[in-house]
């Protein structure tokens, strides 16, 4: 049912490497449908039939960062980390293996091609400009050389064909018939003519190549000069922009001016909520608790991520409605539960027990011990090694963040596995959420917990270490903070982290974290993919969400600063919370906005679309929640209780700016511990050297570890190619040790789920399954 295209030499762009009929999963109504698949140049595309190849492509997935997984004897799955997933079924096991082998080879070729591009520091930003006095551009030169080479190849084939015939004729001379001499003479003449044509073609090709080489050298020199001038212009513009930013910050905003900058959102897409001003206050004056939140009204018929365009339902048009929230002072106390009333007392500034109630983990973490000694409270100071970030990043514009070779000078002595563990610094919010029986109230506190994970990003502008494939990290704080977490780098292309955390108070969290990122010169944008989940076993409630976009500004010049912005939707998936949803709005930074910066607003709705709770605050300081005491799906005026404090950030240590702006928990994450796995991030040598201030040694060790990982991958790719040449199945890629890729309960997509083996193996000190990565 499938056809392999075999070509001489390298296939030309667009020539398919494999094509054929397969069955693709569409949806639960249609199931698997017959589609025509084409594998070409590292891309797998599909069509309804062969005739559509010339005009309509139904879906394409890049194999460069894809995960290829065999589900059963006839089914395999291709996923690029969350945005696209193809479930494909072949007619039999032989055909499935043929496709999987071809896909693995195409993926290996795409990775090698990408790595070869990354090794080149010269980034081509367009066609080479035409220099003065030249009549041909680079495209014309290439076409001329290609035409000359085609003539040369044709002549070569003629010489080979006539030379073979001449050799046969010379052999026939041993048995001389009457016309052998005439035949030899004719073939010798043809061979001489072909040789003359070959020589002429070679001469023309060499002449054209010499001329073109001189032109290309001049054009390349011109391009280099233009690039240097462009860099100077960009740096000058960046300095001017930084000066304008400082001027804009120091200039008072016009009264009531809510500038028409890029932060204004369209009114026809979202739903606005307002806190009402108190009675007797003019409409032009704002109450301190007033805020605007814009959320979708209708969530039905949304396109699921990973589904293709031809089988997905269209998204319905969202209606908008303005709802005013008015504080109901008479019912404020009755609307709050006991836990909320207790939390309200924390807002009193003269409360002597404030540190114990709102920041219980501070004293616990400070007094915590490890292996009979107190845990450390800081890391060594950051050395002052001046190095221009622009000098490194200027040749990386447009590249993926994970592909940029950044020295440790711009990193922090933590891996991404450890950085994600910081999400549980304020785990007491989940402890409190576990005590609520009302799904709306529980969801409001889960939403506050998701906001708290961004608390340290405002002043943490350094980059964590990219984990090696198979690298792990454990953090067991059951004795003091009431939770433990295990994380593992489960994929390298694309980079993906799987993490599982469990709390002693009755909650579990897990996530698959991967991202797409691009450096655009002035800023760096990170868009998280994958999903995060929270589960409360006592009630069966399960919630899922995806993190918002993070942007790092002033890459070229000026002080680096971070902004988190976008919409987050936390959805109740199982248990009594099924159908509940929380909409959070992270307001983007705006120079001329009257809103305070880093603002977050949100609303919790029940399955009928009725608002139940509202949230407001700032992602770097605090979040408050309030119950809605009177509301309906169609009512434009809703009443709320008083706002109570759900989360407040712990003040940073006084001198943390000297040691990477770490919090107390962050300073303890990389502290050496015995008994951890040999793949644990604490044992990573380059990261340890950087923490100790030996940055030159850390950079050298970082290069060694990365080359060791590349060598292991090349060895696996070579084994796959040898197996394909023999017609046998390729060796399986390195599988995660502590996570298993499988379908999550109630979900069709494959996820990396914790296999419940790590802590048992740690107790036995059985690390035989761990690879040698350091």
Domain count, the chain: 3
245 and 384 fall within a common domain:
no
In a domain, residue 654? The reply is yes
**The pLDDT value given to residue 155:** 64
**The pLDDT value given to residue 380:** 94
- The arithmetic mean of pLDDT across residues 528-532, rounded, is 90
The CATH number for 20's domain is 2.30.29.30
Say if pTM beats, i.e. exceeds, 0.75.
no
List residues bridging with 67 in a β-sheet.
79
278 and 244 fall within a common domain:
no
Q: Which of 236-240, 379-383, 462-466, 537-541 has the lowest mean pLDDT?
A: 236-240
DSSP code at position 410? G
**The pLDDT value given to residue 157:** 66
In a domain, residue 741? The reply is no
Q: Which of 701, 727, 752 is the last residue of a domain?
A: 701
722 or 287, higher pLDDT: 722
565 and 501 fall within a common domain:
yes
- Which 3 state secondary structure label does DSSP give 665? helix
In a domain, residue 503? The reply is yes
Residue among 478, 471, 531 nearest 502 (CA) = 478
243 and 319 fall within a common domain:
no
- Tokens representing 412 are 């922090």
35 and 147 fall within a common domain:
no
In a domain, residue 762? The reply is no
292 and 240 fall within a common domain:
no
Cβ atoms of 57 and 48 closer than 8 Å:
no
In a domain, residue 510? The reply is yes
- The arithmetic mean of pLDDT across residues 349-359, rounded, is 39
142 and 113 fall within a common domain:
no
The pLDDT of residue 745 is above 90: no
**The pLDDT value given to residue 124:** 43
284 and 315 fall within a common domain:
yes
35 and 113 fall within a common domain:
yes
- Tokens representing 458 are 């405002």
Contacts of 596 (CB under 8 A, 6+ apart): 618
d(CA 236, CA 228): 12
In a domain, residue 255? The reply is no
163 and 56 fall within a common domain:
no
In a domain, residue 690? The reply is yes
Peptide bond into 494 cis (omega under 30): yes
Cβ atoms of 509 and 434 closer than 8 Å:
no
**The pLDDT value given to residue 24:** 93
289 and 317 fall within a common domain:
yes
Residue among 134, 762, 174, 752 nearest 498 (CA) = 752
Contacts of 324 (CB under 8 A, 6+ apart): 273, 274, 275, 276, 636, 637, 638
The CATH number for 579's domain is 2.40.160.120
Q: Could you give the dihedral angle defined by the CA atoms of residues 281, 282, 287 and 292, in that order, rounded to the nearest 10 degrees?
A: 140
What average pLDDT is seen over the chain?
77
Instruction: Compute φ and ψ for 491, nearest 5 degrees.
Output: -150, 150
483 and 595 fall within a common domain:
yes
Q: Could you give the dihedral angle defined by the CA atoms of residues 246, 247, 251 and 255, in that order, rounded to the nearest 10 degrees?
A: -90
Q: Could you report the per-residue pLDDT of 431-465, keeping only the tens digit for each?
A: 999 999 999 999 999 999 999 999 999 888 888 99
237 or 529, higher pLDDT: 529
Determine the structural domain holding residue 443 and report its residue range.
271-701
Q: Which of 224-228, 471-475, 607-611, 703-707 has the lowest mean pLDDT?
A: 224-228
According to DSSP, the β-strands at 637-640 and 622-630 are antiparallel
In a domain, residue 202? The reply is yes
d(CA 156, CA 150): 10
205 or 121, higher pLDDT: 205
């Amino acid at each position: 049912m499938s056809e392999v295209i075999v070509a001489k030499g390298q296939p030309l762009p667009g020539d398919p490497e494999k094509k054929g009929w397969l069955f693709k999963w569409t949806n639960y109504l249609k199931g698997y449908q017959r589609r025509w698949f084409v594998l070409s140049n590292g891309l797998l595309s599909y069509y309804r039939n062969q005739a559509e190849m010339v005009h309509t492509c139904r879906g394409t997935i890049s194999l460069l960062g894809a995960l290829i997984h065999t589900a059963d004897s006839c089914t395999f799955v291709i996923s690029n980390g969350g945005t696209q997933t193809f479930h494909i079924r072949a007619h039999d096991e032989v055909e499935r293996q043929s496709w999987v082998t071809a896909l693995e080879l195409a993926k290996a070729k795409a990775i090698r091609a990408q790595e070869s591009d990354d090794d080149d520091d010269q980034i081509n930003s367009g066609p080479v400009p035409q220099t003065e006095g030249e009549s041909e551009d680079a495209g014309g030169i290439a076409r001329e050389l290609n035409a000359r080479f085609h003539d040369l190849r044709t002549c070569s084939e003629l010489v080979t064909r006539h030379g073979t015939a001449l050799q046969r004729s010379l052999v026939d001379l041993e048995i001389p018939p009457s016309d052998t001499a005439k035949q030899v003479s004719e073939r010798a003449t043809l061979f001489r003519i072909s040789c003359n044509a070959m020589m002429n073609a070679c001469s023309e090709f060499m002449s054209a190549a010499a001329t073109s080489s001189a032109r290309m050298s001049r054009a390349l020199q011109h391009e280099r000069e233009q690039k240097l001038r462009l860099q100077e212009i960009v740096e000058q513009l960046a300095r001017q922009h930084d000066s304008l930013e400082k001027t804009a910050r120091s200039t008072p905003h016009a009264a009531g001016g809510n500038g028409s900058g890029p932060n204004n959102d369209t009114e026809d897409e979202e739903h606005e909520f307002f806190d009402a001003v108190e009675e007797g206050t003019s409409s032009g004056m704002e109450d301190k608790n007033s805020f605007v939140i814009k959320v979708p009204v209708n969530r039905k018929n949304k396109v699921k991520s990973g589904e293709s365009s031809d089988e997905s339902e269209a998204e319905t048009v969202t209606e908008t409605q303005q709802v005013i929230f008015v504080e109901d002072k008479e019912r404020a106390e009755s609307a709050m539960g006991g836990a909320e009333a207790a939390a309200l007392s924390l807002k009193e500034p003269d409360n002597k027990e404030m540190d114990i109630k709102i920041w219980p983990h501070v004293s616990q973490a400070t007094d915590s011990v490890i292996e009979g000694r107190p845990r450390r409270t800081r890391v060594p100071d950051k050395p002052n090694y001046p190095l221009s970030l622009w000098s490194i990043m200027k040749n990386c514009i447009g590249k993926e963040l994970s592909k940029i070779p950044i020295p440790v000078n711009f990193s922090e002595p933590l891996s991404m596995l450890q950085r994600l563990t910081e999400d549980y610094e304020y785990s007491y919010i989940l402890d409190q959420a576990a005590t609520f029986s009302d799904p709306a109230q529980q969801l409001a506190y889960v939403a506050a917990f998701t906001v708290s994970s961004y608390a340290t990003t405002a002043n943490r502008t350094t980059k964590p270490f990219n984990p090696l494939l198979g690298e792990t990290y454990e953090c067991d704080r059951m004795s003091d903070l009431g939770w433990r977490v295990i994380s593992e780098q489960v994929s390298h292309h694309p980079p993906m982290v799987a993490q599982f955390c469990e709390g002693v108070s009755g909650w579990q969290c897990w996530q698959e974290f991967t991202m797409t990122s691009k450096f655009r010169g002035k800023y760096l944008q990170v868009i998280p993919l994958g999903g995060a989940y929270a589960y409360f076993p006592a009630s069966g409630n399960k919630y899922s969400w995806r993190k918002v976009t993070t942007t790092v500004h002033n890459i070229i010049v000026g002080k680096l600063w971070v902004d988190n912005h976008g919409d987050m939707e936390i959805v109740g998936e199982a248990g009594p919370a099924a159908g509940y949803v929380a909409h959070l709005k992270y307001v983007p930074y705006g120079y001329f906005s009257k809103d305070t910066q880093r603002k977050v607003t949100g609303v919790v709705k029940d399955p009928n679309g009725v608002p139940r709770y509202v949230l407001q605050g700032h992602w770097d300081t605090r979040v408050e929640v309030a119950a809605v005491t009177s509301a309906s799906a169609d009512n434009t005026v809703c009443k709320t209780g008083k706002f109570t404090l759900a989360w407040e950030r712990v003040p940073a240590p006084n001198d943390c700016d000297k040691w990477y702006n770490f919090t107390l928990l962050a300073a303890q994450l990389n502290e050496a511990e015995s008994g951890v796995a040999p793949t644990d991030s604490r044992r990573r040598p380059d990261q340890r050297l950087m923490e100790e201030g030996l940055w030159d040694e850390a950079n050298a060790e970082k290069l060694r570890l990365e080359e060791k990982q590349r060598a292991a991958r090349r060895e696996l790719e070579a084994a796959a190619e040898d197996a394909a040449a023999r017609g046998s199945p390729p060796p399986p890629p390195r599988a995660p040790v502590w996570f298993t890729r499988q379908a999550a309960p109630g979900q069709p997509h494959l996820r990396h789920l914790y296999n419940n083996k790590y802590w048992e193996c740690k107790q036995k000190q059985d690390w035989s399954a761990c690879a040698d990565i350091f």
